[in-house]
Structure 1
Amino acid sequence: LCKPCGVCYNLMMYQHMEVIMIYSMTGFGRGEFSNDAFDVTLEIKSVNNRYCDIIIKMPKKLNVFEERIKNVIKTKLSRGRIEVYINFDEKSYDNYEVLANFDILDKYVNVYREIKERYGIKEDLSLNLLTRIQEGIDVSYLKRGEEEYWEALEPALLIAISKISEMREQEGQKLKEDILEKTDHIKMILQKIEVLSPQILEAYKNKTKERISELLKEMNAAIDEVRLANELAIYGDKTNINEEIVRIHSHLGQISTILEDSDPIGRKLDFLIQELNREVNTIGSKSPDIDISNLVIDLKSDIEQIREQIQNIE
């Protein structure tokens, strides 16, 4: 066994680390590669999309690599509308050779000599004369194998993927920070609602009891305390929002957990946002209080902003 060098050591350490990153679906990457035969420039740009939709624009001679290019991209980018642009220049001075066709030239030379002897021509054969023979010189264009093209194309592709992945990672980190900031704000609003809710219910009970007492006093009748308590209890159940608040806290906790997941998380977050909206709408419909209604509007605003950000997460 060899003693690990620095590169090998870093690779082994990387394999034992759990790398957790959030990726945006928006990004751009450019890769270039040149050798003696080709100059390659490859650009990838991506925007948000529910699926992985890859569109490649490239010279026809590279069409054979379309599926291979898509498969390489899919190993790193799992969602988004991904557009690939390939500029592939083949250096013409390197893809042909010029050869003398001596079988043809020998026959012409023999015929020229016979003509000279027959007619007594003293003029010598010249190079200029030989090069005018149509079949005397062959220009042979070299046919390149598929792998020779791929060996120039693949490095540019991998560089572009690396660049766009880096940009998507940076954008994803910003989205994560913004989402967590919004969830913290939602928690603050929920705390206000949790304080207001029992106060509002108690105030409603007292106000209702006062109104009934006044009405019964005018009618010289007594309050049925048991029935009043039952009616207020029923009202309390109808307007109780504790379960909704508990579920919202649970969903917020799940969002925080999912944001630490190493797998694509966009669809999971989208589902949780729908659940958050449902719970907040229920709170709004249950509570008749104007203060809570205003706080519900704030909640919806934060949730909508999170939803927009999630649309761009892979």
Structure 2
Amino acid sequence: MTGFATLNGENGVFNWTWDLRSVNAKGLDIRQRVPDWIEGLEAAVRVELNKVLSRGSVSLALKIQKKEEQGALALNRTQLSNVLQALHEAETVAAEQGVNLAASRSVDILNVRGVLETASDGGDQKALLAVLLKQLPVLLNRFQEMRQTEGKALHTVLSEQLTQVETLTADATVVAERRQVETAQKLHTNLKRVMENADGVDSERVAQELAIIAVKADVTEELDRLRAHIEAARDFLKKGSPVGRKLDFLMQEFNREANTLCSKAQLIDLTRIGLDLKSVIDQMREQIQNVE
């Protein structure tokens, strides 16, 4: 189901903006763009998203900016040592390959993340992580509220479409009953004509063949299944739990019965109803892609 929510926050050192969006998808696909220097944030956010979501292509972005630097800069000797070691290995490999690397400048090395930090960076990160995780439920609540609003509107649309399917099924039942009488009369007339103009024809065998034709043209089972599917779909819509995949499967069954109805129609009015059914069912399938 589509949804959107945004939320701003700040503390004494940082300010930030959350952005959470989702679009339609058959499964659950979560993509995150969060700062990798906040250890444990991405995993914790994913856990919380999985608690409230079961379907959709979800993207979450967190942009964080640090306010004016506070405190004196300090040199992280461990990080500097790691950077210099990696630089030495890179130069060695390049020399073995006959490649000359440009000399590294001190400013380039100091700009590597973690080499220079303020005295309070370690504490700031832990405090920031705690504040962000505390604020995350607020973002998720806003997101869910928007999805619930859309869900109510979607429930109305699907209910109206089910009513259309029910009306068309009732119309098809009336036409099929009329066609049944007409078909029986035609079969009787054709059987009489065959028996009058053919010598040595096995009347029982002809009657059997005509009976098979009548059975193949009967759409009673298809109409019964359509009515059962309508009832099942309404039951799903009443449930509060995620039913998107179940409804998606049910739409395949709806479409199968509508296709069979059209193939058995043998009557313009019944064919028209079958095509109208397929049109409404197709519209429902598109809407159900929005249901979690």
TM-score scaled to structure 2, two decimals?
Answer: 0.76
Q: Which runs of 5+ in 2 are unaligned?
A: 74-116
CA shift, 1:309, in A, is 0.6
The aligned residue for residue 87 of structure 1 is: 63
Q: Deviations over 1:279-306 (max 9, x none)?
A: 1212222221111111100000011001
CA shift, 1:42, in A, is 0.5
Give RMSD over aligned pairs: 2.7
1:283–1:296 contact (8 Å) kept in structure 2 = yes
2:29–2:58 contact (8 Å) kept in structure 1 = yes
2:191–2:207 contact (8 Å) kept in structure 1 = no
TM-score scaled to structure 1, two decimals?
Answer: 0.71
1:152 aligns with 2:131: yes
Q: Secondary structure at the match of 2:8?
A: strand
d(CA) in 1 for partners of 2:173 and 2:19?
Answer: 52
The aligned residue for residue 45 of structure 2 is: 69
1:303 aligns with 2:278: no
Q: Deviations over 1:198-253 (max 9, x none)?
A: 21121122233334545666x498x9986665454333221221111111111111
Deviates more, 1:197-206 or 1:59-68: 59-68
1:97–1:142 contact (8 Å) kept in structure 2 = no
Q: Give the aligned residue type for 1:144.
A: G
CA gap of 1:212–1:32, structure 2 versus 1, over 3 A, is same
Which of 169, 185, 196 is the aligned partner of 2:175? 196
d(CA) in 1 for partners of 2:223 and 2:231?
Answer: 12
Which of 149, 165, 185 is the aligned partner of 1:206? 185
The aligned residue for residue 130 of structure 1 is: none
CA shift, 1:143, in A, is 3.1
1:33–1:152 contact (8 Å) kept in structure 2 = no
CA gap of 1:158–1:42, structure 2 versus 1, over 3 A, is same
Q: Deviations over 1:41-75 (max 9, x none)?
A: 10101111222211112333235311111111121
d(CA) in 1 for partners of 2:62 and 2:118?
Answer: 28
If asked which structure has higher relative contact order (CA below 8 Å, sep 6+), I would say: 1
1:182–1:302 contact (8 Å) kept in structure 2 = yes
2:25–2:56 contact (8 Å) kept in structure 1 = yes
Number of matched pairs = 248
The aligned residue for residue 236 of structure 2 is: 258
Q: Give the aligned residue type for 2:274.
A: V
Q: Give the aligned residue type for 2:279.
A: S
CA gap of 1:275–1:60, structure 2 versus 1, over 3 A, is same
2:191–2:206 contact (8 Å) kept in structure 1 = no
Q: Percent identity?
A: 31
Q: Give the aligned residue type for 2:138.
A: I
2:195–2:203 contact (8 Å) kept in structure 1 = no
CA gap of 1:225–1:191, structure 2 versus 1, over 3 A, is farther
d(CA) in 1 for partners of 2:26 and 2:264?
Answer: 34
Q: Deviations over 1:157-216 (max 9, x none)?
A: 222211211111111111111111111101101111111112112112223333454566
Q: Give the aligned residue type for 2:266.
A: P
d(CA) in 1 for partners of 2:282 and 2:243?
Answer: 18
